[in-house]
Amino acid sequence: MNVHYTGRQQEVTPFVRKQVESRLKKLVKILGPRPALETRVILAHERHLVLVEITVNVNNHAIVGMSETPHLKVSLAEALERLEKQALKNKARWRVSSRHAHPASARSIRTLQPRSSPRAA
């Protein structure tokens, strides 16, 4: 997993790197092994708020977790929690859409009737 850090009026400390990378390991377990997961972490400081935005590109779409709080630790934790929730939701969608057959009401009327073989005639 490639992680790119950007700090805007905020320094990216080793604590931030360690926190993000440890929680992203859990995200990789949820999403499965993918060789090219691109992750961008943006830290910004505006007035009294610390803004954290974490974007993970998965299967050609992005999962984004954002948070704005006065404390860096809380912002990181909230953004990572939102990422995990979205990953679990997407994983559940993949599981549901690929494992269920179409309901009988969606099938054609022809498929519900017994098939007559041409050799019997």
Q: For the chain, give me the number of helices (H) and strands (E)? A: 3, 4
In a domain, 26, yes or no: yes
Residue span of the structural domain in which 30 resides: 2-97
Using CA atoms, how far residue 73 sits from 17, 49, 80, 117, in Å, is 12, 12, 11, 70
Least confident of 61-65, 72-76, 87-91, 92-96: 92-96
Q: How many domains are there within the chain?
A: 1
In a domain, 104, yes or no: no
In a domain, 14, yes or no: yes
d(CA 103, CA 86): 27
DSSP 3-state of 7:
strand
> What pLDDT is recorded for position 30?
83
Least confident of 36-40, 53-57, 71-75: 36-40
pTM beyond cutoff 0.75: no
> What pLDDT is recorded for position 61?
80
What CATH number did the domain enclosing 75 receive? 3.30.160.100
Reported as a pLDDT band with limits 50, 70 and 90, residue 76 is very high
> What pLDDT is recorded for position 83?
92
In a domain, 16, yes or no: yes
In a domain, 67, yes or no: yes
> What pLDDT is recorded for position 54?
93
In a domain, 102, yes or no: no
